[in-house]
Amino acid sequence: MGIIKKQGAQNTIIVYFGILIGFASLLFIQPHFLRTRDLGLIRILLSYASLLAAIFPMGGPSIAVKYLPKFYAPEKKHNGFFGLLLVFPLVGIILGCTCLFFVKDWIVSLYIEKSRLFTDYLFLGAPLAIFITLIYTLNSYCNAILKTVFPSFLNDIINRVLLIIVIVLYYFKVYDLNGFVLAFVATYGVQAFLLSVYIFMFGQAGFKPDINYLQEHVGFRFMVRYSLILSFTSVSSVSLKFLDSMFLGKQSLEAVGVYSVAAFIALIIETPLNSLERVANSTISHNLAVNNFEEIKKIYYTSSRYLMLLGGFLSALIVISINDLLLLLPAEYHTAGLVTIIISAGSFINMATGINYPILINSSKYVWGSVFLFILLVLAFVSNYFLVPRYGMLGAAIATAGSSSVYNLLKYFFIWKNFKMQPFN
């Protein structure tokens, strides 16, 4: 629990400082320096690339957290685990880009009528997805070796500062829209590069896997099976975050731009949970490897109670102030308050149910994590499909909050029944 407290506190400071930067960027700089069309363009491009980046790693990020405890040996560079880890996204990128070549025209046909600008820059989705894939994979390796602070610093501060610089330069006409979108993609390339340098310097990275050790102590077949199942899990999880924007993009890029600002305000509630999970994920994996369920129970109970209290406070603060806050933005954002409130409700439930995902996905019952995420994916897709065309941004918010709440309650009751852990008195 000591590592979790220390790095969790450091991560929380970094994340909240990053949120201040992101808050200034998304609520003041982006709405005033970018047209809603331009903001919608980079948001839907990021959503598209993030969905691809959920497929490309082929479960690699989950493998890092699950299996590094079995390879753990800093003096031997973890028996070449890092090199083995890179094989999964490499194969995924090759297969994914090949498939993308054949479905590109179909994707264009979905958006060309109402979001033609997105189709003009669709070709940048693949390189952006590759950068994000590398970031996901490298971040997971850092989390597995309990070096979470620098990756958080890159993700929550450096990336956002770079984005502000890119936007300001575009506003002052240093480059045109083409240059702006290219610079936006490049910010993720810079993050992936800096993360790679950090791992090479401090991550005990070995590039030559110890095949004998792999077969004797782990079993490559079991690892591949786990990666394929978790690859689907990753796709489902990421889909919830970006399906709403992809469906809204079929209506207009302007709607995506306004929605992204409203949703960001609500997602601030989940910040403590996100920072805690970065550290707790690896710690829970290590404790499961030695069957230390008492420590896991302690982490789960403590986190759920404090996260619920903090989530309730942040939710109330947002609900009270949202209309006044939106008045600071251009007129097209003023009617988005209800969107923020609805998504806030889903975020509060996510906070209140605590760090249930790391417990489930690192346990022997990890397959159920995929089952629940499949249910989530179906709910999110169906609800967005029917609600977005009829209710627009409000429909997307209802679909997102509703699907997320069902998913978190399924995990909560499953852990209660199967692990006999229920954190609330």
Handedness of CA 134, 405, 289, 234 (dihedral sign): negative
What is the CB neighbour count within 10 angstroms for residue 212? 9
- Residue 259 placed within a domain: yes
pLDDT at res. 419:
85
pLDDT at residue 206 above 80?
Answer: no
CA–CA gap between residue 154 and residue 187 (Å, rounded): 11
> In this predicted model, what pLDDT tens digit does every residue of 349-366 receive, in sequence order?
988 888 888 888 777 787
**CB contact set of 386 (below 8 Å; sequence gap of 6+):** 395
pLDDT at res. 166:
96
pLDDT at res. 185:
96
> In this predicted model, what pLDDT tens digit does every residue of 280-301 receive, in sequence order?
777 787 787 777 888 888 888 8
Residue for token digits 């509630």?
A: 269
Amino acid, res. 299: I
pLDDT at res. 189:
96
pLDDT at residue 242 above 60?
Answer: yes
Confidence class for position 271, pLDDT limits 50, 70, 90 = confident
Collapsed DSSP state (helix, strand, coil) of residue 72: coil
Confidence class for position 241, pLDDT limits 50, 70, 90 = confident
CA–CA gap between residue 190 and residue 186 (Å, rounded): 6
Write the DSSP string, 135-169.
HHHHHHHHHHTT--HHHHHIIIIIHHHHHHHHHHH
- Does residue 209 or residue 369 have the better pLDDT? 369
Residue range 253-271: mean pLDDT, rounded: 85
Confidence class for position 235, pLDDT limits 50, 70, 90 = low
What is the CB neighbour count within 10 angstroms for residue 112? 14
pLDDT at res. 47:
87
Find the range with the poorest average confidence among 262-266, 267-271, 308-312: 267-271
pLDDT at res. 375:
85
pLDDT at res. 299:
84
CA–CA gap between residue 132 and residue 145 (Å, rounded): 20
- Residue 118 placed within a domain: yes
pLDDT at res. 203:
59
- Does residue 417 or residue 181 have the better pLDDT? 181
Amino acid, res. 347: S
pLDDT at res. 126:
92
Q: Report residue 254 as tokens.
A: 């302007």
Confidence class for position 60, pLDDT limits 50, 70, 90 = confident
pLDDT at res. 190:
95
Percent over 70 (pLDDT), the chain: 88
- Residue 383 placed within a domain: yes
Check if the beta carbon of residue 380 is closer than 8 Å to that of residue 238: no
Half-sphere exposure of 47 (CA within 13 A, CB side): 24
Find the range with the poorest average confidence among 124-128, 197-201, 213-217, 247-251: 213-217
Residue for token digits 């003023």?
A: 334
User: What b/e sequence results for 241-275 when a residue is b if at least 16 CB atoms lie within 10 Å of its CB, and e otherwise?
Assistant: bbbbbbbbbbbbbbbbbbbbbbbbbbbbbbbbbbb
Check if the beta carbon of residue 281 is closer than 8 Å to that of residue 143: yes
Residue range 38-50: mean pLDDT, rounded: 90
Residue for token digits 């019952």?
A: 365
pLDDT at residue 180 above 90?
Answer: yes
Check if the beta carbon of residue 372 is closer than 8 Å to that of residue 234: no
pLDDT at res. 72:
65
pLDDT at res. 382:
93
Nearest to 48 by CA among 58, 56, 37, 60: 56
> In this predicted model, what pLDDT tens digit does every residue of 1-22 receive, in sequence order?
555 556 556 766 787 788 788 8
- Residue 425 placed within a domain: no
- Residue 200 placed within a domain: yes
Model pTM score: 0.77
- Residue 89 placed within a domain: yes
pLDDT at res. 45:
93
pLDDT at residue 239 above 70?
Answer: no
pLDDT at res. 23:
80
- Does residue 402 or residue 141 have the better pLDDT? 402
pLDDT at residue 260 above 60?
Answer: yes
User: CA separation (Å) from 15 to 5, 9, 125, 157, 238?
Assistant: 15, 10, 26, 8, 20
CA–CA gap between residue 264 and residue 259 (Å, rounded): 8
Nearest to 412 by CA among 400, 425, 422: 422
Check if the beta carbon of residue 128 is closer than 8 Å to that of residue 100: no
Handedness of CA 195, 200, 201, 204 (dihedral sign): positive
Query: What total of structural domains would you count in the chain?
Result: 1
Mean of pLDDT over the chain: 84
Q: Which structural domain, as residue segments, surrounds residue 369?
A: 2-419
> In this predicted model, what pLDDT tens digit does every residue of 191-201 receive, in sequence order?
999 999 998 88
- Residue 151 placed within a domain: yes
- Residue 424 placed within a domain: no
User: CA separation (Å) from 323 to 12, 101, 337, 338?
Assistant: 27, 44, 6, 9
Q: Is 327 exposed, middle or buried (0-12, 13-18, 19+ CB in 10 A)?
A: exposed
